[in-house]
Structure 1
C-alpha cells in the first residue's frame, strides 16, 4: 500500500481487533496475551491505511497515585506498528490520537513502559527513575535478614485492597489498582502466590507475591512480583521469608517492578552477591498541566508561590504555581519575572518527584536561579517515583 494513502485512527471493532492481534504476533514474534486479557478493560485504537490495520495499542483508564492522591490517567499497553510501516512517524500520529481520545475521557497524565526513551523524550515524556531487576542467592537472603516476629499468612487473592492502596499512596506512580487487577495477574502468571506479613494483633505491614520459573542465567529461581513493605522490619521479614526457599531454589529474582527505589538490599552480608540488571524505564507525560497540579496531593504545611515558564514544541507558556494547605494551582500568568523555566518533559519528571536535589534538576536542564529551583524541587520531593505495575 503506498505511504501517501491517508491514515486514520479509529476505535477497533471486532474484526479490527482480530486483525490487530495478528499484526501484534507478526510484530512481536509471539502472541500478545494482554490484547485478549485486557480487552474488556481497555480502549483499543488502531491505525488504518487503505482498509488495513497497520498499528494500534491498548489504553487503560487507571488512576495513579501522586502526592498521596489518585490522579486520573491512562496507561498505554501492547502497542506496535507494522514492520513495513515503520520509519514514517506513524507512531507519533497514532499516539497523539490515542491520547486525545483519553484526554477527552478525563485523563490528565499518561504512562508507558518504553524502550524508545529518546523518541519519548522528544515527545515530552520523562523517565522519572532508573529501573532495575535484582538477582540474589536465597542463601544470602536467609543469612542476612531476620523475620523479627512477623506472622506469615498465605492469601487467596492478590494485593489490591485497602492495605496495598495505603502503601501505594506513599509513592508517586503506582496504580490505584482496579477490581480486575488480581484476575488479570493470575491469568498472566498462573503460579502466582500471595503472602501477608503482620505483627500480632495488627494489620499487615508487608505484602508479597511470588512465582517460580527458569532464570535466564540458568537454574530454577523464585520470582518476586509484588513487594510492599510499610517498615524496615516488615521488609526484613519478607526478604528473610524469600530466603527460606534456599533448600530447593538457589536464586531469588526480583522483577523489574518488584523492589521500590530504596536501599533494601544494603543489608546483605556480602554486597557483591546481588546483581542488578538495568531495564527500560516507565515514562510519564502530563496531558493537562493545570489539572494535574490541581488533582495531585501536596504537603499540607507548604506555602509556595512561584512563577514558572513551561516550554512545549509549540511555544513557551508562563504560569504561577501556587501551593497552600495541601492544594495546588497552576494559573496562566503574563507578569514579568519567571525565575524557573522547564520543558514539558522536565515538568513531568518534577511532577513525579524525580528530582531529588536542585543540583539534579539543574543537570537535567531546568533553568533558573538556584533559590527558585530549590523551592520547586522541595514542593514535589515528599515521595519518590515508583511504578510497580508492568503492562
Structure 2
C-alpha cells in the first residue's frame, strides 16, 4: 500500500467489535459525506469492514466488498472499497494509510482479492499508496427534447424481466472493470438506491438493452431525469433507449446521463442536429494490483498474443521488483526475475496497463513509463482489446 505516516500507537485498526462501533462508523460517514450511507448496515454481511479506534472512540472507517471484476473477459478475484472516512480532527496522523493497508491486506489474505477498486477524488493520496487512475468518467446533461431525434422502433417495457441480469453480465465481459454482480448486489441497489428499470427485448423475447433512472423536481416546474445505468446490445437498441428518454420531454427538461452509463454514449452526441450537451467530470476510478502475479494469471488474454517482456516495477517506497511477463495461447504469467528490464514503470502504471487504460505507447510515455518504443508497443497491445469501464457504484 505504500509509505504512510505512522499513526499514534494507541490507535487500533480492527474489525468492528459490536453494533455500537458500526453505528459510530455510520455516523462518521454521514458527517463526512453529508448524507446518510445506508450501505454500511446493508453490506455488513457481505463486506470486510475495518475501523480505527482510540480510547473507545471510532476515528475512521472503511469497507471492502469482495466481488470479482471482469478483465480481459474473465472474472478476476477482486474487491471494491467504499465509505472511506476519517474524522476531521484525526486527519494528518497517518490513520487513513494504516486503515487502508489493513483493509487491503484483509481483502487479499482473507478473500483472495488480486485487484482492488474504488471511486475517489483523493487521487494524489492513493497514487502515493501505489494505486493507478484508470478512468475519469463524465456526467452528460442534454435537453430531453433533443433526444427525440433518436428514432425508436419499439417501446421499452417496465421492470426487470428474466434475462436482464444475464444480459448485464454478458455485456460486462466486453469491458475491463465491471463487477460480476452476485444476486444480492441487485437487491442491495433496490433497497438503498431505488430506481425505475426499463428493458428492451427482441421478437424472440431476448433482452437487448435496459436502463435504470430516477427523477427529481426542478423549479419552476417539471423535473429532470437521471440515468444511472444504460446498456444495449447494438446501435438500434441504443437509439431506441435514447429516443425513449426523449419522449419524456413534455415534463422532463434535462436528461442526466450518469458517469457509469455506457461510455459509447459520448459518440452518439455527434448524431445530434445541434450540439448542446454539457459535461461534468466525476470521481476517478482507481485500481491497485494487490497480488500482481495472481491478477495476471486470472485475467483473460487474447489467444493470438505471443509476448515476453521484462518489467521493472517501482513501489511507492522506491523499491523495484523485476517481473517477466509472458502471454501465450490465451494465458498470462508474471514471474520475478533479475534480468534487465524492457519497460520501467510504477505499481500505479502497472494497474493502469492491466485495465487497458493506456491505449497507446504515446500515453504511456507521457505518464512516465520508460522503455524502447518497440517494447512499449508490445506491452500496450496486450491489454488494448477492451476499454476500461466500471458501471458499478459502491
What's the TM-score, normalizing by structure 1? Answer: 0.93
Residue aligned with 1:235, SS: helix
Superposition CA RMSD, Å = 2.0
Cα 1:37–1:151, aligned 2, differ >3 Å: closer, same or farther?
same
From 86, 89, 97, the equivalent of 2:94 is: 89
Equivalent of 2:24 in 19, 22, 29:
19
What are the residue-to-residue correspondences of 1:134-153 with 2, within 5 Å?
134-143=140-149, 145-147=150-152, 149-150=153-154, 152-153=156-157
1:25 positional shift: 2.8
The CA distance in 1 between the partners of 2:315 and 2:159, in whole Å, is 47
Tell me the CA shift for residue 140 of structure 1.
0.4
Q: Which of 29, 40, 43 is the aligned partner of 2:48?
A: 43
Residues in 2 aligned to 1:30 and 1:118: alpha-carbon distance in whole angstroms: 24
Contact 2:175 2:387 in 1 (8 A): yes
1:176 aligns with 2:184: no
1:142–1:172 Cα change, 3 Å: same
Q: Compute the displacement of 1:160 (Å).
A: 6.2
Q: CA deviation at 1:345?
A: 0.4
Counterpart in 2 of 1:323? 327
Query: Does 2:67 align with 1:62?
Result: yes
Query: 1:209-224 residue pairs with structure 2 within 5 A?
Result: 209-214=212-217, 220-224=223-227
Q: Hey, what's the Cα distance between the residues in 1 that align with 2:274 and 2:86?
A: 45
Structure 1 residues 221-240: Cα deviation after superposition (integer angstroms, max 9, x where no partner): 11111111222222111111
* 2:135 partner SS: coil
How many angstroms apart in 1 are the aligned matches of 2:337 and 2:327?
Answer: 15
Partner of residue 4, structure 2? none
Partner of 1:33: 38
Runs (4+) of structure 1 exceeding 4 A deviation are 157-160, 215-219
- 1:112 alignment partner in structure 2: 118
Deviates more, 1:359-368 or 1:24-33: 24-33
- The structure-2 alpha-carbon separation of the partners of 1:158 and 1:203, relative to structure 1 and needing over 3 Å to count, comes to closer
Q: Does 1:186 align with 2:186?
A: no
Q: Out of 263, 267, 275, which is 1:263 matched to?
A: 267
Confirm or deny: 8 A CA contact 2:137 2:284 kept in the other structure: yes
Question: Is the contact between residue 222 and residue 251 of structure 2 (CA under 8 Å) also seen in structure 1?
Answer: no
Q: Does 1:130 align with 2:136?
A: yes
Find 2:278's aligned residue among 262, 275, 279.
275
Q: 1:217 to 1:42 in 2, by over 3 A?
A: farther
State how many pairs are aligned: 384
Q: Give the corresponding residue for 1:244.
A: 247
Q: SS at 2:252's partner residue?
A: coil
The answer to whether the aligner puts 1:167 opposite 2:176 as a matched pair is no
Q: Partners in 2 of 1:156 and 1:110 — Cα distance?
A: 29
Residue 363 (structure 1) aligned with residue 366 (structure 2)? yes
d(CA) in 1 for partners of 2:220, 2:135: 25
Counterpart contact for 1:5–1:50, Cα < 8 Å:
no
Unaligned ranges ≥5, structure 2: 1-6
Aligned partners of 1:216, 1:23: CA distance in 2, in Å?
A: 33
Q: Alpha carbons of 1:95 and 1:83: their partners in 2 closer, same or farther (altered >3 Å)? A: same
Task: Give the TM-score taking structure 2 as reference length.
Answer: 0.93
**Residues 282-321 of structure 1 correspond to what in structure 2 (within 5 A)?**
282-314=285-317, 315-321=319-325
Q: Structure 1 residue 41: deviation in Å?
A: 1.8
Superposition pairs for residues 328-343 of structure 1, below 5 Å? 328-335=332-339, 337-343=340-346
Give 3-state SS (helix, strand or coil) of 2:240's partner. Answer: helix
CA distance in 1: counterparts of 2:236 and 2:347, whole angstroms? 39
Alpha-carbon distance change, 356 to 346 in structure 1, aligned in 2, over 3 angstroms: same
1:349–1:216 Cα change, 3 Å: farther
Q: Is the contact between residue 158 and residue 209 of structure 1 (CA under 8 Å) also seen in structure 2?
A: no
Determine helix, strand or coil for the equivalent of 1:247. Answer: coil
Structure 1 residue runs of 5 or longer lacking an equivalent are none
Q: In structure 2, how many angstroms separate the alpha carbons of the residues matched to 1:85 and 1:159?
A: 48
Q: Counterparts of 2:219 and 2:118 in 1: how far apart (Å)? A: 25
User: Quick one: distance in 1 between partners of 2:171 and 2:113?
Assistant: 23
Structure 1 CA distance, aligned partners of 2:208 and 2:347?
Answer: 37
Cα offsets for 1:291-334 (capped at 9, x unmatched): 00000101111111111111113411111111111110011112
